[in-house]
Amino acid sequence: MENAKKMKWYTLAFMAFSTVWGFGNVLNGFVYFNGIQVIFSWILMFALYFVPYALMVGELGSAFKNEGGGVSSWVRKTISPKVAYYAGWTYWACHVTYIASKGSGGLKALSWMVFQNGTTYDKFPTLAVQLATLAVLLFFCWVASRGLNPLKKLATLAGTSMFVMSILYILMMFAAPVINPNAEYVSMDISMKSLVPQFNLAYFSSLSILVFAVGGCEKISPYVNKVENPSKGFPKGMIALAIMVMVCAILGTISMGMMFDPAVINESQESFNHYVSNGSYLAFQKLGEYYGVGNLLMIIYAACNAIGQFSTLVLSIDAPLRMLLDNEDSRQFIPSALLKKNKYGAYVNGIKMVVVLSGSIILIQSLVPGAASVLTQLNKLNSVTMPLRYLWVFAAYIALRMSLNKFNPDYKFTKNQGLALTAGVWCFFVTAICSVMGMYVKGDLFSTLLNIITPFVLTALGLILPIIKKKEG
């Protein structure tokens, strides 16, 4: 009877797929890795990183099935409460740059809906765009401080519609040459020579983009023990997830290869920035042209994206902050001023800290020439900071495997202890190296410094708070 209530492995795979994957991942891979050359890198990333990562998450979720705190609770159980505070802090701190990018992304989507092109927004003075972005941040921080979260359902709806649009894009693009054979398509060179990338500094400094794209599957860890026969069902679901993501990445890349010429994207830094910030809209705009519906598909995509960006913004202000400050183990290391709540139950001083930190990033970028450059910079900054939270997943996994006599997960990634520890250390190493190398931006000292200073400042702040708390007591 109980088994009837449990989900099938393929249900888990589809649920995880819509959580992990997005259309922006296809675009970023295509733009940063010279078009269809990214296929080689996607295959390597899935085989050597994503599959072991997902299976390790399954083992951690199985070992701590009754823990609701995710990564922080895994670290608390396997290492210590203080280290768990640092894990929770990292998860929150990573969202500081993410929050700064969501306002910009939302305004960009609105501009495509109104002006139906990418150049109008990109020509606005950077200072004016950044002040508008700051105003958006302040408004949604006010929404969060009122204890209101009216956008949760909208976020789910936008996420689902974006997922549908991503699949629709691939299907419609493959059908386009049959339906409209006279349209202009790019001729792709699919020889082995053209598919293997050049392994230079630019290549390795962009790998953080792919790590960022495939990360985040720890969000589905609470469902490990809700799957039929977890020891077999969960790995089946994760392997199915990896196959679906890989197929979508490859087919999405080929679809883009039929539309965009990498030589045009890479002809100048201005052109590159234009495609990073506008590529997804340009893709749907071209798709609409192929099908003779004008800008309709692009407007639908822009509307879904605008709702998604703004709803994710308010959720990112509220949820990670609550995860950090609601946790009893973390509270002992956090100054009492940050734990202050208003009459709506919102952590007001915590929200003020978000305003100061995310607002600083927004205002610093008013010095950047061009709105498209800002979005490119934020894209790279997120790819450097967000994967840092995955390091705690691998640290917890290594600690779990070193204490198997204490914990007994129903599902194990592998019974071989040496292989398990090697996989944990390997994924930790890959994440750390890709994040560090991703800090370098060729020919852009400002972006490089921002990528280095931001994680440093956020880490230092996380180290200072327990010292302030100790002085209070």
* pLDDT for the residue numbered 410: 79
Contact present, 315 and 151 (Cβ < 8 Å): yes
Of 251, 204, 245, 198, the closest CA to residue 47 belongs to 245
**Digits of tens for pLDDT over the chain (473 positions)?**
445 578 888 888 888 887 788 889 999 999 999 999 999 999 999 999 998 998 898 888 888 877 766 788 899 999 999 999 999 999 999 999 999 999 999 999 999 999 999 999 988 999 999 999 999 999 999 988 887 656 667 777 777 788 888 899 999 999 999 999 999 999 888 888 788 898 999 899 999 999 999 888 887 776 777 888 877 788 888 888 888 889 999 999 999 999 999 999 999 999 999 999 999 999 999 999 999 999 999 999 999 899 888 888 888 888 888 888 887 878 899 999 999 999 888 899 999 999 999 999 999 999 888 888 999 999 999 999 999 999 999 999 999 999 888 887 878 888 999 999 999 999 999 999 999 999 999 889 999 999 999 999 999 999 999 999 998 86
Of 256, 252, 227, 253, the closest CA to residue 240 belongs to 227
Q: Give the CA dihedral 344, 311, 240, 13, nearest 10 degrees.
A: 40
Token reading at 226: 């809700």
> For residue 115, what are the CA distances in angstroms to 45, 189, 255, 276, 371?
37, 35, 25, 18, 15
Contact present, 368 and 374 (Cβ < 8 Å): yes
* pLDDT for the residue numbered 376: 93
Of 426, 383, 417, 408, the closest CA to residue 51 belongs to 426
The C-alpha atoms of residue 440 and residue 435 are separated, in whole angstroms, by 10
Coil, strand or helix at 149:
coil
Question: Residue 7's beta-bridge partner residues?
Answer: 227
* pLDDT for the residue numbered 435: 96
pLDDT in tens, 221-237: 767 778 888 777 888 88
Please tell me the number of Cα atoms within 13 Å of 393 on its side-chain side: 33
The C-alpha atoms of residue 146 and residue 148 are separated, in whole angstroms, by 5
**Burial group, residue 3, by CB count within 10 angstroms (0-12, 13-18, 19+):** exposed
* pLDDT for the residue numbered 151: 61
Composition of the chain by helix, strand, coil, percent to 5: 80, 0, 20
* pLDDT for the residue numbered 160: 79
> For residue 224, what are the CA distances in angstroms to 55, 80, 84, 215, 398?
10, 24, 22, 17, 19
Q: Which residues contact 356 (CB under 8 A, 6 or more apart)?
A: none
Terminal Cα-to-Cα distance of the chain (whole angstroms): 53
* pLDDT for the residue numbered 369: 84
Token reading at 239: 């392997």
Q: Give the CA dihedral 300, 305, 311, 312, nearest 10 degrees.
A: 160
> For residue 375, what are the CA distances in angstroms to 208, 380, 398?
16, 9, 36
pTM of the model: 0.91
